[in-house]
Amino acid sequence: MTAFAAEAEAPAITVGRPHDSGAMKRLFEPSEVTLEETILGAWEALTAHGRAECPVCHGELVASGCETCGSQLA
């Protein structure tokens, strides 16, 4: 005899009611800087100043890549 566990997809949890203006909010908002914000910040600093902090190792990021770990933004 084989037992199967069926997982039901959990519904999304929202705060407020759909018909309330502006009441639909995410239950969990990020409290820290997101990966997207980190990469965009490095990209903007790199294009504006030619140098930025590497988002991987926190070394020196230049147009050709990180001088410490070799990571590149492309």
Strand 25-26, strand 14-15: pairing: antiparallel
Q: Tens of pLDDT along 19-34?
A: 555 556 667 776 788 8
Predicted local confidence at residue 28, as pLDDT = 72
Distance CA 16, CA 50 (A): 45
42 compared with 11, residue with greater pLDDT: 42
Query: Quick check: helix, strand or coil at residue 68?
Result: coil
Q: Tens of pLDDT along 43-73?
A: 999 999 999 999 999 999 999 999 999 999 8
Is the sign of the CA dihedral 65, 62, 42, 69 positive or negative? Answer: positive
Q: How many residues make up the chain in this entry? A: 74
Predicted local confidence at residue 29, as pLDDT = 72
31 compared with 16, residue with greater pLDDT: 31
Distance CA 53, CA 43 (A): 10
Note the pTM of the prediction, 2 decimals: 0.55
